[in-house]
Amino acid sequence: MRRTPVGRQTRARGIPEATVARLPLYLRALTALSERSVPTVSSEELAAAAGVNSAKLRKDFSYLGSYGTRGVGYDVEYLVYQISRELGLTQDWPVVIVGIGNLGHALANYGGFASRGFRVAALLDADPAVVGSSAAGLPVRHMDELESIVESQQVSIGVITTPPGAAQQVCDRLVEAGVTSILNFAPTVLTVPDGVDVRKVDLSIELQILAFHEQRKAGEEPESGRGEESVLDRAPGPVRAAAAKLRRAAGGAKDAKDGKAESGKAEAAKGQGAKAQGARAEQPRGESERSAVMPA
Amino acid sequence: MRRTPVGRQTRARGIPEATVARLPLYLRALTALSERSVPTVSSEELAAAAGVNSAKLRKDFSYLGSYGTRGVGYDVEYLVYQISRELGLTQDWPVVIVGIGNLGHALANYGGFASRGFRVAALLDADPAVVGSSAAGLPVRHMDELESIVESQQVSIGVITTPPGAAQQVCDRLVEAGVTSILNFAPTVLTVPDGVDVRKVDLSIELQILAFHEQRKAGEEPESGRGEESVLDRAPGPVRAAAAKLRRAAGGAKDAKDGKAESGKAEAAKGQGAKAQGARAEQPRGESERSAVMPA
DNA sequence: TAGATTGTTAATCGATTAACAATC
DNA sequence: TAGATTGTTAATCGATTAACAATC
């Protein structure tokens, strides 16, 4: 099902996802320049302000069209408008926020929304104790009103800030009512029909990624054996098979779970405390590491 | 400065970033299985639970080692532990949260932290009205204490939930005090020295990306000319040059800014309201679109 | 042994980057 | 004209995916 190329390249429909994800960064940087009444900006300057490299920025802009002037740079105002239009921010997007806990409150108050064409059409919650209170100057309404609000206000974007257990159900109702884009803050994988977009923001995942890199920093100085396979996994077939079997045999789930981080080297590593900035927090992982931490 | 390959492939140091970013997803799915005491899981099942495809999952796991058993699947408990260890979650990570507004509160209360080895070491705020109050059972302390807390508690991860204007300054202090990983919720590009990791969570950017796709859905049905270059931009050099010059000449910044979305077709499009789910919200973008929306 | 499932290969796709001709 | 800067090319890198041999 290839699209028919129009000229050299089809272009018409396809702005790469990676580029789309950076457009808001450019837009923010440009808006700041605009507020300072800066008339033009070079790819080099703008890239620095947006935190990307200039080749990437120019490539990104090339997907939108030729909006710059060689030898001069880009007209700030013109570019603000073009990017806004490309992102769909020149129209008004009513949004519902479902789940008005701390995070829902934070979002309702978030300044970056209104300034970008997003308008909070309603705040919804299932808890009668919360319904009727107000956040960011808007009343919190009951979930029962979800369908009527989405329909009457033509809401196409929903934000889910409920507890994880409620997220899928809320999602289903939103979709059923006509919402086709969902921003999900609940730590749940949502299932949606084709044609519905879901984006996920997960606070804990971001921290986990940081922890991964932080851990690497700690043991970094020499080319330590960190991350190397164990001998078992490099061994010829039968040995590996035996090792795997052993691992599987090791635990009737629950038992193994409780003991998982509390035996052998794992315990030792844990006891050494966090951080250890610039110092080796754990001994370089040795050959028998992997088997040593197996549930006993 | 290439690393010396050990065998076929160096492997030791390099788990691809894309894989690292998915490990927390697998971990979450596995934790759920573990709580249901499911002993083993196939790549197909686990992939479905994590919302990825199974080939990708197997490829991801292959970077960690050979933890599965052919014909059987993966041992849930064992895999939970291996991924936790790989991510650095078997150690304790004290974290400071700076800026205790709604979002700071939400994070302080976020359950996903504690369960993953993250421990809130302190909540900090600059506002005397907030200092002394408590959130999630912890006292909010004054920014003045930042350095002493980071140093005494060996904090290596900082979370910034301040207003954008304060973010860089807070970041500088965190880094100076010894923090080497920062999770930034403020809509600001942070500058940090080498060796410091910054990850950014931007609520407004996610919504903007959704709006982009939502906009596409609305005008989707026929292969409309949407996104096509204007004749001017496809025209031979001199004409394009003239067009660009015209654009640049169009506005002494402020003037252009005020008028930017308020003239010609842009205004018309804006007036048509949001959504238009399944119906063409805007007329198919025509040839002269781009010039029509230029600041007049 | 037969059925199931992993781990790996290789092809493909998409994103990044440096370099530079085109053009102001 | 000379200096500056864009827009594009092409090389490179990294991620995804289907397919399947290896192995339980």
Residue B296 half-sphere exposure, CB side, CA atoms within 13 Å? 10
Average pLDDT over residues B137-154: 97
Q: Do B106 and A105 touch (CB under 8 A)?
A: yes
What fold does the segment set A93-201 form as a domain?
Rossmann fold (3.40.50)
Give residue B1's pLDDT band: very low, low, confident or very high (50, 70, 90): very low
Sheet of A118-125, strands arranged across: A134-135, A138-142, A118-125, A93-98, A157-160, A181-184, A197-200
State how far residue A264 is from chain B, nearest Cα, in angstroms: 13
Give the helix/strand (H/E) hosting B210. helix B203-218
Residue A112, pLDDT > 60, answer yes
Q: Does domain A17-87 have CATH number 1.10.10.10?
A: yes
Give the helix/strand (H/E) hosting A13. none
Q: Which of B29, B90, B230 sits opposite A269 (nearest CB)?
A: B90
**CB pairs < 8 Å spanning A and B:** 352
Annotated binding site of A for NAD(+): 99-104
Q: What would the pLDDT profile of A126-177 be if each residue is shown by its tens digit?
A: 999 999 999 999 999 999 999 999 999 999 999 999 999 999 999 999 999 9
Give residue B231's pLDDT band: very low, low, confident or very high (50, 70, 90): very low
At A56, the amino acid letter reads K
Distance B264 CA to C20 C1' (A): 39
Residue A290, pLDDT > 50, answer no
Residue B28, pLDDT > 80, answer yes
Contacts with A192 (C-beta within 8 Å, 6 or more apart), sequence order: A171, A175, A182, A198
Q: What would the pLDDT profile of B87-111 be if each residue is shown by its tens digit?
A: 999 999 999 999 999 999 999 998 8
Residue B261, pLDDT > 70, answer no
Please give the biggest Cα pair distance in chain B: 71
Residue A259, pLDDT > 50, answer no
Q: What is the pLDDT of residue B14?
A: 85
Q: What would the pLDDT profile of B182-210 be if each residue is shown by its tens digit?
A: 999 999 999 999 999 999 999 899 999 99
Q: What is the pLDDT of residue A113?
A: 81
Higher pLDDT, A110 or B113: A110
| C-beta of residue B68 within 8 angstroms of C-beta of residue B43 | yes
Q: What would the pLDDT profile of A48-67 be if each residue is shown by its tens digit?
A: 999 999 999 999 999 999 99
Contacts with B38 (C-beta within 8 Å, 6 or more apart), sequence order: A253, B76
Average pLDDT over residues B262-278: 28
| Chosen from A91, A107, A119, A183 to mutate, greatest number of chain B CBs within 10 A | A91
Q: What is the pLDDT of residue A59?
A: 98
Q: What is the pLDDT of residue B79?
A: 98
Question: Got the DSSP string for A96-158?
Answer: EEE--SHHHHHHHH-HHHHTTTEEEEEEEES-TTTTT-EETTEEEEEGGGHHHHHHHTT--EE
B23 contact residues in A (CB cutoff 8 A): 208, 212
State how far residue B276 is from chain A, nearest Cα, in angstroms: 8
State how far residue A97 is from chain B, nearest Cα, in angstroms: 12
B81 contact residues in A (CB cutoff 8 A): 260-261, 266, 293, 295
Domain ranges of chain B: 17-87, 93-201, 228-292
* Tokens 């949606």 sit on residue: A192
Structure tokens at A214: 């932080």
Q: Which of A191, A119, A214 is nearest to A159 (CA)?
A: A119
Q: What would the pLDDT profile of B60-78 be if each residue is shown by its tens digit?
A: 999 999 999 999 999 999 9
**Distance (Å, rounded) from C-alpha A271 to C-alpha A286?**
18
Q: What is the pLDDT of residue A78?
A: 98
Q: What rounded mean pLDDT belongs to chain A?
A: 76
